[in-house]
Amino acid sequence: MNHYFSILRVKPGADMAEIKNAYRKAVLRYHPDSNDGIGDTDKFKDTVKAYHEIQKHYKSLGLKKPKRWQTAFAAFVAKVTFFQKLPKRASARERSRKRKVYRGGYVDARVSSLSFEELRLRFFESSNGFVKKQAARALAICHGFEALAIFESELKVAEPYLVAEIIFCLGLVDHKGSVKILETYLRNEDIKIACAAVNALQNINRRNAKNILKKIEKEGRALKHVVVRFFESRRVGKLVKRGFIARSEFHIAKALRVQTGQPLPAILRQLGWEIPAGI
């Protein structure tokens, strides 16, 4: 019989409450479906058998039957131990950060090593869209203020697919001039251009950029469900309460909803949020 006690890792003669507690811990450790345990099937079977044998013969062994409060306390300790092992749920802010998909500013090292004149020629002369985008990003990252005049002149004549990319590059230039240019494109009726301007302003670490975003957020807060479609706003609002979408960007999306006429889920997807299908 001492063999059964050794399987449960308790001393011979331990009371039934201690044996039950050891049994629960052993089950968590050896259960085949346990995430944190060893998952040994043979040891799990031995543990169950040892516990049942001790339970059958506890009277003949002279063990005291546990009182009701002792059994309840042992069960409580086992539950606390189990839930402590579970991964903690992230806060609403952490979940919203994980849901946001930011576009990266990747630039090939060979492109960034080119001179300003070479990058400018690539940006203006190349017919390849990818080469133009790489040159624009390299100009924004490596030359900053010097690239502002190029971007401002090109925005007036650029093709639609390139406008959003240039606006993204303006967000990489931390200068008040880029903030002024982006502010004009916030009121654009094209959803891609307006959302690109919002994302670009979020990348700029300047007070005036933050003030512009706060102003748009304030406009969105003032809008009621009558202006924005009621059911559409309610369904997206539930995602905000659960922490899947940042509340500030929800209000910005409401302001853009009135401006562009596009549904809220489409605007939030353009802003970089993962919105489930069917909303």
Tell me the average pLDDT across 267-278: 76
Question: What is the per-residue pLDDT for 279?
Answer: 58
Least confident of 14-18, 46-50, 132-136, 162-166: 14-18
Residue 259 has pLDDT above 70, yes or no: yes
Tell me the average pLDDT across 244-260: 82
Question: What is the per-residue pLDDT for 99?
Answer: 41
Question: What is the per-residue pLDDT for 103?
Answer: 44
Question: What is the per-residue pLDDT for 55?
Answer: 77
Question: What is the per-residue pLDDT for 74?
Answer: 66
Least confident of 155-169, 193-207, 221-235: 221-235
Question: What is the per-residue pLDDT for 17?
Answer: 77
Least confident of 76-90, 117-131, 169-183: 76-90
Tell me the average pLDDT across 124-132: 84
Tell me the average pLDDT across 181-207: 85
Question: What is the reported pTM?
Answer: 0.55
Residue 16 has pLDDT above 80, yes or no: no
Question: What is the per-residue pLDDT for 62?
Answer: 57
Q: What percent of the chain has pLDDT over 90?
A: 0
b or e along 103-137 (b: 16 or more beta carbons within 10 Å of the residue's beta carbon)?
A: eeeebeeebeebeeeebbebbeeeeeeeebbbbbb
Residue 102 has pLDDT above 50, yes or no: no
Question: What is the per-residue pLDDT for 256?
Answer: 85
Least confident of 98-107, 148-157, 158-167: 98-107
Question: What is the per-residue pLDDT for 82?
Answer: 53
Question: What is the per-residue pLDDT for 64?
Answer: 56
Question: What is the per-residue pLDDT for 255?
Answer: 85
What is the pLDDT of the chain when averaged over all its residues? 76
Name the amino acid, one letter, at 35.
N
Residue 100 has pLDDT above 50, yes or no: no
Out of 51-60, 105-114, 138-147, 239-248, the most confident range is 138-147
Question: What is the per-residue pLDDT for 101?
Answer: 39
Nearest to 250, CA basis, from 208, 216, 227, 277: 216
List the domains of the chain with CATH numbers. Answer: 2-85 (1.10.287.110)
